[in-house]
Amino acid sequence: MADHGDESMTEDDLFAEHKRQRKDLQAQTQKLKRSVPKGDKKKKKEVTEEIAKLEAELDQKQEQELAAFQQKQKTETTVKSLENLKTDDPPEEGEDDAPFDKVKKPSKAQKRRDKKAAQAREREERIREQEEENVFVARNVETAKIKKLLAERGLQIKEIASDGNCLYNAVAHQLSLKGIEASNEGLRQQTAEYMQNHEVEFIPFLTKENGDCYSHEDFVQYCKSLATTTAWGGQVEIQALSKVLKMSIEVVQAEGPSVQIGEENEGNPLIIIYHRHMYGLGEHYNSVQEKTDEEDEDGFS
C-alpha cells in the first residue's frame, strides 16, 4: 500500500492507490457473493450487509486520506508562498521596504499565481468527478440493455470476478453447464499453445501501443504472458479458444448484434457477455445462466 506520508506522492498517485483498493474490494465482494448457497436468504442478507459495511469503511478511509493529503498540500503551498515573499517579488510601488524577518502581505503577483493554481486544481477535480460519473452512468445503461437482451432469451448475468481472468473463467463456467470441467489455468495454457503453433494466423491482429506490428519475439513473449500471468484476453484469444475447444462462442454486447465466433462448429454456442463499461478499470467479460427468481437489482445470482 502507498505511504501517504511520502513527500514525493502526488494526488494522481493517491487516486491510483484508491482505484487499486476498490479493485481489490470488488474481487473480495465477488468471492463473498459466490460463497452464498443458492436459496439461502439468511446467508445472502448477511453477506449483503457485510459488503455494505466493507464499502462504507473503504469510502470513509479514502475520504479521510484525501482530506489529509489536501490539507498537507494546502499547508505546503502556504509555506512556499511565505518563502516566495522573501525571494521572488520586489516590493510593490508605495510599499515600505519592511525587513525580511517580518511577514509581508501577499503581493499582487503572488495572489494571481495562487488564484491561477486554485482554479487549475478545481478544474482538474471537476474533470475527475465528471469522468467517474460518466463511467457510473455508462455502466448502468449498458448493464440494463444487456439484462433486457438476456431476459428475452430466458437468461441472466452470471457474475465473474474482475481479476484479469474473466474471459477464461466465463468460458470455464459455460463449459461446466455442458458438463465439461475446465480451469482458467488450463484454458490459458491451451490458448497460448494454439496461438504459438499458428503464429501466422494471429500475429497480424496484434500491435504494440505505438501502433507497430509484433515481431516474432514479441509474439512469443505475448503467448508466454498469456499462459503464465493474468493478462486480459480479448477477441484474438476468443478466436483461439473457439479453435481449441472446437465450439462456437457467442459474445453478447449492449451495442450492436451478438458476435458469433467459430460458427462452423456444430452444437449450441458458449455464451459470454462483453461489458465495455463494467468497471472503471476497463472492459470485462461475464457468463450467463438460465434466469431464476433469485436475481436481484444488481444481477446477484
Q: What is the pLDDT confidence band of residue 60, given thresholds at 50, 70 and 90?
A: confident
Backbone dihedral angles phi then psi of residue 121, each to the nearest 5 degrees: -65, -40
pTM: 0.56
Q: How many CB atoms lie within 10 A of CB 125?
A: 12
Average of pLDDT values for 271-287? 81
User: What percent of the chain stands above pLDDT 90?
Assistant: 40
Q: What is the pLDDT confidence band of residue 42, given thresholds at 50, 70 and 90?
A: confident
Burial of 164 from C-beta contacts in 10 A (0-12 / 13-18 / 19+): middle
Average of pLDDT values for 192-213? 93
Task: Identify the CATH number of the domain defined by range 140-290.
Answer: 3.90.70.80
Q: What per-residue confidence (pLDDT) applies to 297?
A: 46
Q: How far apart are CA 104 and CA 268, in angstroms?
A: 79
Is the confidence at residue 271, as pLDDT, over 60? yes
Q: What is the pLDDT confidence band of residue 159, given thresholds at 50, 70 and 90?
A: very high
Whether the Cβ atoms of residue 259 and residue 250 lie closer than 8 Å to each other: yes
Q: How far apart are CA 245 and CA 201, in angstroms?
A: 17
Give residue-wise pLDDT tens across range 205-262. Answer: 999 888 899 999 999 999 999 999 999 999 999 999 999 999 999 999 988 899 999 9
For residue 106, give Cα distances in angstroms to 83, 101, 222.
11, 15, 57
Average of pLDDT values for 149-178? 94
User: What percent of the chain stands above pLDDT 70?
Assistant: 78
Whether the Cβ atoms of residue 37 and residue 168 lie closer than 8 Å to each other: no
Give residue-wise pLDDT tens across range 4-38. Answer: 555 567 877 777 788 888 888 888 877 877 777 77
Burial 14-53 (b: 16+ CB within 10 A, else e): beebbeebbeeebeebbeebeebeeeeeeebeebbeebee
126 compared with 281, residue with greater pLDDT? 126
Q: What per-residue confidence (pLDDT) applies to 1?
A: 47
- By three-state DSSP, how is residue 282 classified? strand
The per-residue pLDDT of the chain, averaged, comes to: 80
| Spans of all domains in the chain | 11-106, 140-290
Q: What per-residue confidence (pLDDT) applies to 100?
A: 46
Longest dimension (CA), the chain: 91
Sign of CA dihedral 82, 84, 87, 90: negative
Active site residues: 163, 166, 284
- By three-state DSSP, how is residue 152 classified? coil
Q: What per-residue confidence (pLDDT) applies to 151?
A: 93
